[in-house]
Amino acid sequence: KDQLKTKIDGFVSQSPQSLYLIDGEKGTKRSVICRQNENGGQTCLNIEVDGVSLFKQMQGFNYFCSLPAEIDATHFECRKI
């Protein structure tokens, strides 16, 4: 569990002011966290944790996470507060 926290912290600390998108299949222990790059691409980290746990981890790192405006969206957007 601490190893996972360290992995997530290491990823977001590379670019703390980025907008992060977190997504995961419901009922699985697989999630992905992505951020936009300056060149328009994305950098993503696949991790073995459910989406709710990842959401809570991001809140613990002082990010505000919410659903985007799209009605059928399955991901969360997280911004540094």
Q: What is the pLDDT of residue 38?
A: 85
Q: Which tops the pLDDT comparison, 2 or 9?
A: 9
Distance (Å, whole) CA 37 – CA 69: 22
Q: What is the pLDDT of residue 57?
A: 92
pLDDT digits (tens, 9 = 90+) for 15-61: 999 999 999 887 889 999 999 888 889 999 999 998 888 999 999 99
Positions of E strands within 1-81: 20-24, 31-36, 42-47, 63-66, 76-80
Instruction: Give, in order, the Cα–Cα distances in Å from 64 to each of 3, 40, 59, 60.
Output: 22, 23, 6, 9
pTM above 0.85, yes or no: yes
Q: What is the pLDDT of residue 1?
A: 64
Q: What is the pLDDT of residue 19?
A: 95
